[in-house]
Structure 1
């Protein structure tokens, strides 16, 4: 009898950044709401929730649909620059850890656990939180400009696992958004989904937990073992 991958300790970890390790979604909120106002239609909460964790392309597709305009070419570049400049400015003045994130990273370093950071944020913006977190904590960093398709596509996680030299099935991913958790599940990772905002639905194939506070490596293994949400018993690990 063989064990399912979900019964074994993870070979590596893949961690999201915004909303998972650092409390930056509230800063993105400010920048995103300001941008929508600038574009002529104040953003509602439901649409903002849809944009959580998205790539720039995905974000502007949703925002374009919401504002009734096609955002591409020079306008895409102009609005992306405006958004990224504003959120970078906010990050430089008010960066904070998410509960439990710093402690988890400390344990990862102490045990020599293989770990990647996997974010949809572009490299120029990610530089600021990575200075706060410390880039050297990670064996691999995958940013939004390194793959053809960002989350919710599996590409960022597949690239991270390839560069770490591990299979997705032997990897635990930690995410805070439906977009990110969907990407990790689709890639074949075991997923701990810790929503950073209230009201987000469960993600089929992911294990939902309210916080990273008090969650160490042993708990990560325990919390992502067994059958996740929306998967029938007998299908897990297939």
Structure 2
């Protein structure tokens, strides 16, 4: 009997906010509080426009909305508020994300967290995972260019010592998918609060729930078949 084997990806590269953990609502609450504390108004649509963006790029938007603080202070204040919510309410995992991550680790697939949140917040989330989840962390305070620039994903692949074209990236936002796609990775879009129909993804999965290592591995062949 002939056994067909599917090659594993060189690595799986994970976005954090909205993909691994459902923290976008924490960020939105923090943004609204910040803008309103300076007498401004921050709508849900305003918040949606920043999903997946870099924090320092977002700081410019908050300044234009009346927040009279320098960019570093804005980033620090927002991050601290989100961390307070994580501490108070716990880490809200996205459906199936932690289970798939653990299955990949058990299959010895290298993984990286590629997030535009700062390192201290990424560390908080990683500490809540009851197994060694990531080989590399790429955070917003350690990159020259934020998503949608490909730099964060290229940096992750370089630090892992793998070819980014042999990696699978999992994202929930158009900005994140644009970043991963431009880097050359196979991109998986998992919608959360934004539609991804127009985003550059090789495949859209409605959820990670029930997804397996084999499902992820098959994406490499899927890309080649549709190239």
Report the TM-score when normalising by structure 2: 0.87
Q: Aligned partners of 2:202 and 2:58: how far apart in 1?
A: 23
1:163 aligns with 2:162: no
Judge conservation of contact 2:140–2:146 (CA < 8 Å) in 1.
Answer: yes
Deviation at 1:191, TM superposition (A): 0.4
Unaligned runs of 5+ in 1: 1-6
Give the equivalent residue in structure 2 for 1:99.
95
Judge conservation of contact 1:181–1:191 (CA < 8 Å) in 2.
Answer: yes
1:186 aligns with 2:185: no
Task: Output the aligned Cα RMSD.
Answer: 2.4
Give the equivalent residue in structure 2 for 1:52.
51
Task: Specify which of 71, 81, 84 is matched with residue 76 of structure 2.
Answer: 81
Deviation at 1:158, TM superposition (A): 0.5
Deviation at 1:227, TM superposition (A): 5.5
Give the equivalent residue in structure 1 for 2:3.
none
**Superposition map of 1:79-228 within 5 A:** 79-94=74-89, 95-133=91-129, 136-223=132-219, 225-226=221-222
Give the equivalent residue in structure 2 for 1:16.
15
Q: CA deviation digits over 1:10-43, x for unaligned, max 9?
A: 2211011111111111111211121121233222
Report the TM-score when normalising by structure 1: 0.84
Q: Which moved more, 1:156-165 or 1:190-199?
A: 190-199
Structure 2 vs 1, CA of residues 58 and 188 (structure 1 numbering), >3 Å: closer, same or farther? same
Moved over 4 A (4+): none
Q: Aligned partners of 2:126 and 2:158: how far apart in 1?
A: 21
Deviation at 1:223, TM superposition (A): 4.8
Deviation at 1:224, TM superposition (A): 6.0
Q: Aligned partners of 2:46 and 2:215: how far apart in 1?
A: 33
* Count of residues in correspondence between the two structures: 221
SS in 2 for 1:116: strand
Deviation at 1:8, TM superposition (A): 5.6
